[in-house]
Chain A
Amino acid sequence: MTKSSPCLNKQTTNQQSTELQSSNKYKRSPAVLALVSLLSLTLLAVYLAESNMALNHGILPSSLLSGAGLICLVTLCTIIKGQQIVDSFMGLKSAPSLWRRLLLSYIVVIPLLIAVIYLL
């Protein structure tokens, strides 16, 4: 990969600018996808929690999830939402991997730790 091939900077400058111009048109779509997934996961988590609460109060005869299952699914939703914000909103997908990993470690470790505390 790092063999002594020449870096043709002048040729690539035009190619790069063309690629950047075309990619700018599609920059909005990853953000839209992230927005839709964030909204959907939020609504899903609230729906599950509300149906579980209704079950506990005897309003609903059954719920999709309860107890540990609810905690695990809500935690998973939180981690996915955090990853969407870090990668798509903060733009760390194209940042140095150390910083991306550092931020992702927060949004994975903290919800998991809280879930473990609740499940113990």
Chain B
Amino acid sequence: MCEIIKSTPSHTVCIQNHNKTLPGDLAMWFFILAELTVFAILFIAFAVTKQLKPELFEAGQATLHPLAGLVNTLALIASSYFVVLAVNAQKTGLTKKTQVHFIIAILVACIYIVSKSWEYLALFELGIGLSTSTFYTLYFLITAFHFMHVLLGMVILLLVVFKLKQVDSDKHATLNTVESSASYWHMVDLVWIMLFPLIYVI
């Protein structure tokens, strides 16, 4: 497969299409698709149930804190940005910079953890739990499932930071690991991008 990059009267310069590669490990992408499918089913279940019980869901949504939801969104987007910077740094061989960006991403994600925990605590103090109503069952199920994904993502990023400390590691394998972990983190962000308007906004 040849992709033309420059043509002159004497000859045509072409290169093999090296750029069209999937970032990270292929297995990670199958995992991401599986995760997105699970969340898609949960989101559709939430929307359908809301249409069946609109008053119950509107009353439930009124007890949530849109500002906390906004803070969570901003924290996850900012965290994802630092992960992008980490991948770019790793591509140029700046391992130290990759580690720093990953650590910043983890710290920014901590804002989400604190904010979400505060939201849960505020609801628990009101005596609201998983079995209070259908709205809260779905709310806790979806958001806690996502919360666990964020925690897992933070652990993965932290493990990659430690792995990068191994100086003699294979450069290609290391970039693959960095890209795979970054792809997982962006998937977590992508899910929240859909979850936030569904539960907090509309």
Q: Which of B86-94, B128-136, B154-162 binds A?
A: B86-94
A118 to B44, CA, bound (A): 10
> B193 an interface residue at 8 Å Cβ cutoff?
yes
A99 pairs with B190, CB closer than 8 A: no
A95 pairs with B186, CB closer than 8 A: no
> A114 an interface residue at 8 Å Cβ cutoff?
yes
In chain A between 1 and 45, which residues have their CB closer than 8 angstroms to a CB of chain B?
A: 1-3, 5-9, 11-12, 15-16, 24, 27-28, 31-32, 34-35, 38-39, 42-43, 45
Write out the residue numbers on chain A whose beta carbons fall within 8 Å of the beta carbon of B2. Answer: 1-2, 7
Write out the residue numbers on chain A whose beta carbons fall within 8 Å of the beta carbon of B166. Answer: none
A34 to B85, CA, bound (A): 13
Write out the residue numbers on chain B whose beta carbons fall within 8 Å of the beta carbon of A9. Answer: 15
A34 to B21, CA, bound (A): 21
B18-35 CB mask vs A (1 if < 8 Å, else 0) is 011111000001001100
Write out the residue numbers on chain A whose beta carbons fall within 8 Å of the beta carbon of B122. Answer: none
A104 to B74, CA, bound (A): 22
- The tally of CB-CB contacts under 8 A between chains A and B is 142
Contact of B197 among A6, A78, A91 (CB under 8 A): A78
A39 to B12, CA, bound (A): 44
> B16 an interface residue at 8 Å Cβ cutoff?
yes
Q: Which of B76-84, B110-118, B137-145 binds A?
A: B76-84
A120 to B54, CA, bound (A): 13
> A46 an interface residue at 8 Å Cβ cutoff?
yes
A27 pairs with B88, CB closer than 8 A: yes
User: Known contacts being A12-B5, A31-B81, A89-B189, is A95 close to B22, with CB within 8 Å?
Assistant: yes
In chain B between 24 and 55, which residues have their CB closer than 8 angstroms to a CB of chain A?
A: 29, 32-33, 36, 40, 43-44, 47-48, 50-51
B40 pairs with A110, CB closer than 8 A: yes
Write out the residue numbers on chain A whose beta carbons fall within 8 Å of the beta carbon of B186. Answer: 85, 89-90
In chain A between 46 and 72, which residues have their CB closer than 8 angstroms to a CB of chain B?
A: 46, 49-50, 70-71
User: Known contacts being A5-B12, A8-B13, A49-B66, is A117 close to B190, with CB within 8 Å?
Assistant: no
A79 to B162, CA, bound (A): 35
**Shortest Cβ distance from A2 into chain B, in angstroms?**
6
User: Known contacts being A28-B88, A113-B44, A118-B51, is A94 close to B20, with CB within 8 Å?
Assistant: yes
User: Known contacts being A5-B11, A46-B201, A91-B23, is A117 close to B44, with CB within 8 Å?
Assistant: yes
B15, B84, B200 — which one has the most chain A CB atoms within 10 A of its CB? B84
Write out the residue numbers on chain A whose beta carbons fall within 8 Å of the beta carbon of B23. Answer: 90-92, 95
**Shortest Cβ distance from A20 into chain B, in angstroms?**
9
In chain A between 83 and 120, which residues have their CB closer than 8 angstroms to a CB of chain B?
A: 85-86, 88-92, 94-96, 99, 102-103, 106-107, 110-111, 113-114, 117-118, 120
Chain B interface residues (CB < 8 Å from chain A)? 2, 4-6, 11-16, 19-23, 29, 32-33, 36, 40, 43-44, 47-48, 50-51, 66, 70, 73-74, 77-78, 80-81, 83-85, 87-88, 91-92, 179, 182-183, 186-187, 189-190, 193-194, 196-198, 200-202
